[in-house]
Amino acid sequence: MSLLHAVLALVAFFAGVLKSGFGIGAGIFLTPILALVMDPKEAVVLVAPMMLFTDFTAIYQYRRQWDTSDVLALALPCLLGAVAGTLLLQWFTPATARRVIGIIGLLYVGSELMRKFFFRSPGKPNLIKSTFIGIVGGLASALANSGGVFISTYFTGRLSKAYFVGTLVVVFLAQDITKVSMFTGLGMLNSRLWTIELYLLPLMFLGGMTGKWLNSRIHEKQFAKWVFVLIVGACVKLLLF
């Protein structure tokens, strides 16, 4: 087995683990790893269908465990952001996109942590917040598979761990379908990459089952802490690597 095959297998498995276990972190951590053994822009495109396939697994696992009002508030902004981000990816270098997203992410996470420290309660959803987070999340998703950094902050502290993951993956499904469709239509996601995706499907499914098992064994408070650790770690990863 070559290094490329080994990395592809690792990425496919952990795409399922992180999506079903935490709802976030899969694309933002795994895309840079894949970029070590292949063209960075191609890595962004290849991870997108992995996110889509693991969306379907996670939605089945968390069926009927999502907040419909949050899904409706974020769906359209996320779709608009995903369309814009896909078009921008043709001109942006992956390195530039990652650093811009990392800076915005750290600023936003910092403001959320300050709010929690001073006010001790999660912020209430509103139209301005959902629109901003949705558009930036869609952009980040298309440019670096990192939309979860922003979108997850909209739910953190308000939803239980099961509803947190379930709501996230429903929102992700819409934008991931948009991304994959546009990547394919623009010729960025070609037949060679689609063949690789099909070979990796069993590992994605196995990873999803493992992630659901982990989620059921993590305490609610521990889950919230791990989510913030993943968000901050992901932002730092985008900036430094």
Q: What is the pLDDT of residues 76-126, one digit of tens each?
A: 999 999 999 888 888 877 677 667 766 766 766 676 666 566 555 555 677
Region of 36 (left: φ > 0; alpha: ψ -120 to 50; beta: rest) is: alpha
What pLDDT shows up at residue 202?
93
Alpha-carbon span 183 to 237, nearest angstrom: 24
Q: What is the pLDDT of residues 5-62, one digit of tens each?
A: 888 998 899 888 888 887 776 777 778 778 778 887 888 899 999 999 999 988 988 8
What pLDDT shows up at residue 220?
61
Token pair 């301005």: residue: 128
What pLDDT shows up at residue 122?
54
Alpha-carbon span 74 to 134, nearest angstrom: 5
What pLDDT shows up at residue 160?
84
Mean pLDDT of 164-185: 90
| CB count in 10 Å sphere of residue 212 | 21
Q: What is the pLDDT of residues 202-238, one digit of tens each?
A: 999 999 999 889 888 877 667 667 766 766 776 777 6
Alpha-carbon span 197 to 49, nearest angstrom: 7
With 0.85 as the threshold, say if the pTM is over it: no
